[in-house]
A and B are shown apart, each in its own frame.
Chain A
């Protein structure tokens, strides 16, 4: 294996205030540095750490509520996921605000990139009387779910382990989660997906189902891709 194949590019995504940067700092420690990408006013931070001999490169994306193309932050986050080929996404979910946060999680799952979920602020959720069945969540979404309390450094090693394992198993057991859009929309999506699959350039670079969903939503950036 070449040296490059051991570099794991991980995109850190999540809604605003879910603790993305706290987890980012927690995982990368003192080695963290800040990088400005030209042409974009929204900053992406890059940091590295080593785990079991592999170099893990984390990119802290701007916080977004969803991944449409309405705001600059959303476009920055989405363009990175679409064009920079991250090996996996680390999705930071605020456990005390699970329902709203899962909305973004589903959009990320739809992009067909392996996902690891950090269920952050577990202590806050517990204080509010919420008990979350992480095993069940993990089974239903088909992803690793790691409870964390990032500001206290809890769950750090488990998260590193989960990222590493998801990366190692990326080709074997990854079954993308699929949202069923119901009787009205599914036939349209299927036929759209079929048409998109005929274009090899498109189907090589993007999830055709994801593109079909976005086109159906009249998404301007997705329209530019086709």
Chain B
């Protein structure tokens, strides 16, 4: 499954980053590497963006970007 499918409160591990280019590189730089634990905190009122907790910090991203992150539920 992909990161955009998770509901607030759910946790997962990163399996793979499926997007390349600038966004893919940025995700890798920010810690989206396999086996990294992520918790979905909440969605914005109009769904986008989504607030995540990764490696001890909060990160907001679009669902379209989260779709590029393959994860497995905790």
Contact = CB atoms under 8 A, between A and B. Distances in A.
Interface of A: 65-66, 68, 70-71, 97, 99-100, 103
A99 B22 contact: no
Contacts of B25: 66, 68, 70
Nearest to A71: B22
Nearest to B28: A66
A66 B55 contact: no
A51 to B, nearest CB: 33
> Main secondary structure on chain A at its contact with chain B?
loop
Interface string B1-38: 00000000000000000000110011001110000000
Given A68-B25, A70-B22, A71-B22, A97 B30 contact: no
A65 B56 contact: no
Contacts of A65: 26, 29-30
A65 B31 CA distance: 10
Contacts of B31: 99-100, 103
Nearest to A94: B57
A149 B63 CA distance: 36
B26 A100 contact: no
A134 B74 CA distance: 33
B67 to A, nearest CB: 20
Contacts of B57: 97, 100
A100 B55 contact: yes
A209 B57 CA distance: 32
B30 A100 contact: yes
B13 to A, nearest CB: 16
Nearest to B59: A100
A99 B55 contact: yes
A1 to B, nearest CB: 41
Contact of A70 (B26, B30, B55, B56): B26
Contacts of A71: 22
A127 to B, nearest CB: 13
A71 B25 CA distance: 10
A104 to B, nearest CB: 8
10 contacts: A65-B26, A66-B25, A66-B29, A71-B22, A97-B56, A99-B31, A99-B56, A100-B57, A103-B29, A103-B31
A65 B21 CA distance: 15
Given A68-B25, A70-B25, 20 more contacts: A65-B26, A65-B29, A65-B30, A66-B25, A66-B29, A68-B29, A70-B21, A70-B22, A70-B26, A71-B22, A97-B56, A99-B31, A99-B55, A99-B56, A100-B30, A100-B31, A100-B55, A100-B57, A103-B29, A103-B31
A97 B30 CA distance: 11
Contacts of A100: 30-31, 55, 57
